[in-house]
Amino acid sequence: MKKRVAPRVSSAVRGHRRIICVTASAALLVPLLIDRSDVGVPTDHRLQDDYTTAADEFHVPRNLLMGVSYLQSRWDSHPGAPSVVGGYGPMHLVDGSRPSQPQQSPSPASGRTPAGHDANSPDGSTGQSADLQRAASLLGLPVDQLRTDDAANVRGGAALLAATQRQLGKPLSPNPADWWETVTRFPGAGDRASAETFANDVFDVIRRGAHRTTDAGQHVTLAASPRVRPHVPLAEGAPRPKEVDCPPELTCSWLSAPYVEIADDQYGNHNLADRPKDQRIDYIVIHDTEAPLASMLKTIQDPEEASWHYSIRSRDGHITQHIKIKDAAWHSGSQFVNARSIGIEHEGFLRQPDAWYTETMYRASARLVKYLAKKYGVPLDRQHIFGHDNVPAPTKDSIPDMHDDPGPFWDWRHYFDLLGAPLKATAGPDSDMVMILPDYTSHSPLFTGCAKSDVPCAPHGSSAVRLYTDPAEDAPLIQDPGRRPDGDDSTVDVNDLGSRVSAGQLFAVADRSGDWTAIWYQGHKAWFKNPQAHPTAVGARGRMVTPKEGRKEIEVFGRALPEGDAYPEGVDELPESPLPYTLRAGQRYVTQSRVLGSYLEQATGPDGPSPVVKGQEAYYEIQLGHRLAYVRASDVDVVAAQAAAVPSGQAAAGTPGA
């Protein structure tokens, strides 16, 4: 649940906030019932062979079967662990007999859709097409086997596709283009637009091809079939509320956040504004809810609570908008960022990524962000599209209270592939600037605290790279004096951001030693392991700032405020609050944005937009540490990275077909 910036709300009001947590179902441990001693099949290619075998058995085009599976799970097994709706395995077959978290959202027209019912179902039913129980019945196998054995799971998916094709009265054609209607029905989408978007994505993957190594270490390749074009029937789009600002191919609902008086001259739960006329929109902030969506939809309707612009449901990527883009939501913990940003909540828990961070949600989110970024001129990079965990604390005292979602298991590399702006090398490996870019699937640093404090999390792919004081894994972790002002050490807890960086972030190189690279981080030299054979960073080019000649050190800020004489009469000047970090002579930090100081006053009346105070003093936004920060332009010089050419084959780091 999110914290807003509302300094004049009483402590009694704040005391009513609650955090709701749930625990994902544990995976069942059952013996595998199929003999997997496939003769001549490498152990890391068995899943590839499973798709071929199942496609042949049920007369389903193999590229169609693999395309559906890619959209369901990106071929991952999450071994035996269910998603939030009880989906298992590479085909994400849903076990309707298992209890799942309550799912509830407004319908596309208006009002609430009762839990357990989906409006505008493409086949008129409320059931899940990728039904695990039905698949097990078709195969004559125990349900448990389809939960835990990838080969059985893939066979179950192929059997369901073939059965649906027959029910539609269509032949089991070797041409994937003839299976369009069957593909739309497979995920059990709640509306026709979502079903067709799923099918479009499946056929896009088939045309482009894909290759990746799964979470189980399986190497899977889908060869590109660029000529495949499905036979798509014409369909009318569903009506949508006039308030909704959403891509036309997505089904989006409206559930309004209230703007009412909550205390004397204090209104909530957002600011009326006139963006982008009175304030540029510079940022899109990615959150996770840390609560089931049903509870968050109650929160957004409470004027004394936090607010955000959009919610995205885990199971099917359904989007609900709550606040018009012209208005500023209270979502980030920084009124400065709130005034310049769009906040998007994703249903999920950062400790349970496999259960909640579904491929469908990633894709719906990326479509929404790509649409908003184009419409409002937001650059597609990691200093403008960032997580709640990257938001700069506005003041020194607020640092320990800043949030840490969506966490180290959010796949930023895949997300930017979906945005059409892949994170990639833009310079050679000897450049004096690097982009953090581990291979998500194979990079699994130790984390604790997913299930219980100090207990190691299960190994899992991660976007995060850990930082040390020296080039050795037994060296102390880098410390964050702002996050831990009492002097406690950084930890490897999943919520501790004190000593890590994340995929897509750019840093200036401070040193190199063998397989280790050092970057400038919060005023210090921080080391991370970056072996040539399995790099966790790639060369980059761009602009950096460094203290002006003759300056030993300069101040760093969590917000870019206007100068004192810019405040009009009746608006209190905000005091500067430098962060407990300094940039010292010779250090460099990457910048991708220059901004003028501004301040959007908290909501103080029922009519019209809140006033925006605009200054003339310029600041540079920098990647200071895990979080962003600002420095005065008058304190720094801007320098370009010295970058060699990108070696052949390293330019594109994204996943083909993503």
* C-beta neighbour count of 639 within 10 angstroms: 13
Is the CB of residue 365 less than 8 Å from the CB of residue 312? yes
pLDDT, residue 278, reads: 92
Contacts 24+ apart (CB under 8 A), 50-58: 50/150, 50/151, 50/154, 50/155, 51/154, 51/220, 53/151, 53/155, 54/151, 54/154, 54/155, 54/157, 54/158, 55/158, 57/155, 57/158, 58/155, 58/158, 58/159, 58/161, 58/162, 58/172
pLDDT tier, 542 (very low <50, low <70, confident <90, very high otherwise)? very high
pLDDT, residue 648, reads: 60
- State what percent of residues in the chain have pLDDT above 90: 74
The pLDDT mean for the chain works out to 87
| 3-state SS, one letter per residue, for 550-619 | CCCEEECECCCCCCHHHCCCCCCCCCCCCCCCEEECCCCEEEEEEEEEEEECCCCCCCCCCCEEEEEEEE
Sign of the torsion formed by the C-alpha atoms of 407, 409, 413 and 417: negative
* C-beta neighbour count of 58 within 10 angstroms: 21
Distances (CA, A) of 68 to 92, 179, 360: 10, 11, 12
Residue 199 has pLDDT above 50, yes or no: yes
For the segment 578-598, what is each residue's pLDDT rounded down to a tens digit? 999 999 999 999 999 999 999
pLDDT, residue 98, reads: 64
Rounded Cα gap, residues 172 and 168, in angstroms: 11
pLDDT, residue 642, reads: 82
pLDDT tier, 236 (very low <50, low <70, confident <90, very high otherwise)? low
For the segment 141-196, what is each residue's pLDDT rounded down to a tens digit? 999 999 999 999 999 999 999 999 999 999 999 999 999 999 999 998 878 888 88
Contacts 24+ apart (CB under 8 A), 139-145: 141/33, 142/33, 143/95, 143/97, 144/28, 144/30, 145/30, 145/32, 145/33, 145/34
Domain limits of the chain? 59-222
Residue 38 has pLDDT above 70, yes or no: no
pLDDT tier, 40 (very low <50, low <70, confident <90, very high otherwise)? low
DSSP 493: B
Is the CB of residue 266 less than 8 Å from the CB of residue 603? yes
pLDDT, residue 184, reads: 93
pLDDT, residue 579, reads: 97
For the segment 474-484, what is each residue's pLDDT rounded down to a tens digit? 999 999 999 98
pLDDT, residue 604, reads: 65
Closest CA to 510 of 495, 490, 488, 525: 525
For the segment 369-408, what is each residue's pLDDT rounded down to a tens digit? 999 999 999 999 999 999 999 999 999 999 999 999 999 9
pLDDT, residue 124, reads: 35
Residue 16 has pLDDT above 90, yes or no: no
- pTM, to two decimals: 0.88
621 or 605: which carries more pLDDT confidence?
621
Rounded Cα gap, residues 157 and 165, in angstroms: 12
For the segment 411-461, what is each residue's pLDDT rounded down to a tens digit? 999 999 999 999 999 999 999 999 999 999 999 999 999 999 999 999 999
pLDDT, residue 655, reads: 44
Q: State the average pLDDT over residues 615-626.
A: 97
Residue 5 has pLDDT above 60, yes or no: no
pLDDT, residue 608, reads: 77
Q: State the average pLDDT over residues 550-570.
A: 95
As its CATH architecture, domain 59-222 has Orthogonal Bundle (1.10)
* C-beta neighbour count of 230 within 10 angstroms: 20
User: Picking from 104-113, 518-527, 643-652, which range would have the lowest pLDDT averaged per residue?
Assistant: 104-113
Strands (E), 90-132: 93-94
Q: Which residues contact 372 (CB under 8 A, 6 or more apart)?
A: 245, 284, 325, 342, 378
pLDDT, residue 650, reads: 54
Q: Which residues contact 368 (CB under 8 A, 6 or more apart)?
A: 246, 247, 250, 310, 312, 319, 344
pLDDT, residue 603, reads: 67
Structure-token pair, residue 367 = 């479509």
Mapped onto helix, strand or coil, the DSSP state of residue 130 is: coil
